[in-house]
Amino acid sequence: MADQVESTSPEAMPRMIDFMSSVLERVAKSNDLSRGFEPTQRLSLFHSLTTPTITIHSYLQRIFKYADCSPSCFVVAYVYLDRFTQTQPLLPIDSFNVHRLLIASVLVSAKFMDDIYYNNAYYARVGGISTAEMNLLEVDFLFGLGFQLNVTPATFYTYCSYLQREMLLQSPLHVAESPLNLARRLKLHCSFNEDESAHQKQLAV
């Protein structure tokens, strides 16, 4: 995979995965509670009939273990999820769709960020879905984003800062590095032609 020998410490990415899953679990639970009060919420290809038995944390760890994409892909995937919630307000992240949204966001991020990546059939096996479903999820996710895939350095830094604050709040005893160093160690491989300095994150609750 692209640039796998990165300067990220052995513990950095597992910790980031932990805190990303923590944020998504809070968002999903919050939106689960409001489902009954949101009759306008529509179903989509991302919704399962029942909530998956695997936790968000375990699912994200599985993706991290087997997808073998660059660490920065996970930050960018988080950016994509945030954009998706903004462009698709009738499809908030909840326990019924978060898993499919995760696998789709990492797949799209890997294809955009990395020079070499696994195909959809492989991601389907990692995500526990069929290849046909993975193909449909990818297309639906791209249209949901409006094909807005570029991420500026400022936006990447902003999300690193947010994730770092999550780390500090939940593990205050850890000596945290600066968001700038975190961004550098994740080795950003993005296209920089959009201005999102005023980007407001909708995933935080």
CB 182 within 8 A of CB 140: no
Write the Ramachandran bin of 196: left for phi over 0, alpha for psi from -120 to 50, otherwise beta: alpha
How far apart are the C-alpha atoms of 107 and 21, rounded to whole Å? Answer: 17
How far apart are the C-alpha atoms of 188 and 181, rounded to whole Å? Answer: 11
Residue indicated by tokens 């949204």: 101
* Poorest-pLDDT segment among 2-16, 37-51, 87-101: 2-16
Residue indicated by tokens 């689960």: 32
pLDDT value for 136: 96
Query: pLDDT tens across 151-178, in order?
Result: 988 898 888 888 777 666 665 444 444 4
How far apart are the C-alpha atoms of 149 and 154, rounded to whole Å? Answer: 15
Could you give the maximum distance between any two Cα atoms of the chain, in Å? 48
Q: Where are the alpha helices (DSSP H) in the chain?
A: 12-34, 56-67, 72-87, 98-113, 120-127, 131-145, 153-170, 179-185
In CATH, 13-33+43-170 is 2.60.120.10: no
Q: Residue range 124-143: average pLDDT?
A: 94
pLDDT value for 201: 41
Query: pLDDT tens across 33-56, in order?
Result: 876 545 555 677 888 888 888 999
Higher pLDDT, 53 or 5: 53
